[in-house]
Amino acid sequence: MDSVSVKGKAVIIGTGNVGATVAYTIMMNHIASEIVLIDVNKEKASGEALDMNHGIAFFKQLVIREGDYSDCENAQVVIITAGVGRQPGQTRIDLAKINIAIIKEITHKIMEYASNPIILVVSNPVDILTYVVQKESGLPASRVFGSGTTLDSGRFRYLLSRHCQVDVRNVHAYIIGEHGDSEVPVWSRANIAGKPFEEYCEDCPRQCREVNRNKIFELTKNAGAEIISKKGATYYGVSMAVARIVNAIIGNEFAVLTVSSCVANKYGVSGVALSLPSVININGIDRIINLELNKKESAQLRESADKLKAVIDEAYEIN
């Protein structure tokens, strides 16, 4: 069978742990009607597609197949997960330089076939690579964005929900800035069921001791490293976050997610890609929501941007 009813086509470049799990998560949630896997190792991409195809008999009908860059031409979203992981003793600059070279080549191949794609960057360092893809592709910043701190925000909400013993779906809180060491928790705008976090804590019948905010944030920021130390890699959480973003695009949801994009004149920051709450629909980023940050958070966000700029200046040369 070559086709099914059109719900959207997602192209995934890179079929390592993250890419394959993203494909599986999109399939299980029936977000796209067609999923195309691209990898320099064609046998790996073909094997992953074959493995998932064997489960379609127990699932909704869709197409999953190995493909090539020509499939980017009419895709609703192109997802980049390719790249290398950071090795022991390797600096962020070293990793950035290696993955920048890989992602530049991938971007040029995408643009050979796709005139106005939406490109979702998942590879790390995600903010640096999002900046690179936007510059190399020449696409508007609204159509090139990274998974950013979407997962970090999810982790933050989860930890707050566990502490406060409420459903995580009723916790609204964001991590902004870099997906990494300089990310910023927006405590001033966090709320539970619409009630500001400070007020909620004052009225909470549990009467627990004051929240250790530093501990919750450190657990959020270091969650990826903790998982890697225990099982060697992270891919389930990020795949669910990516699937959520893809669903917002293909489903034209106007969902608010903290994706990373190149910003201009936001909180005094320009010329860098970082995460801010953004409204996502079928055209990409519809708009960025301006949160009222306090002075500390604004300063931390600018510091985060400065650290990202320093990496870009050292690791990336625009053609």
143, 155, 261 from 284: Cα distances, Å: 5, 24, 11
Set 30, 108, 163, 179: catalytic member: 179
Closest CA to 311 of 126, 133, 176: 126
Contacts of 11 (CB under 8 A, 6+ apart): 35, 36, 38, 67, 71, 72, 75, 77, 78, 79
| Bridge partner residues of 41 (DSSP) | none
CA atoms of 295 and 276, how far apart (whole Å): 17
Contacts of 46 (CB under 8 A, 6+ apart): 37, 66
Helices 17-28 and 236-250 meet at what angle, rounded to 10? 50
Cα torsion through 77, 104, 227, 190, rounded to 10: -60
Cβ(53)–Cβ(64) below 8 Å: yes
Backbone angles phi, psi at 212, to 5 degrees: -85, 90
Cβ(111)–Cβ(70) below 8 Å: no
Active site residue 179: yes
Just list the catalytic residues.
179
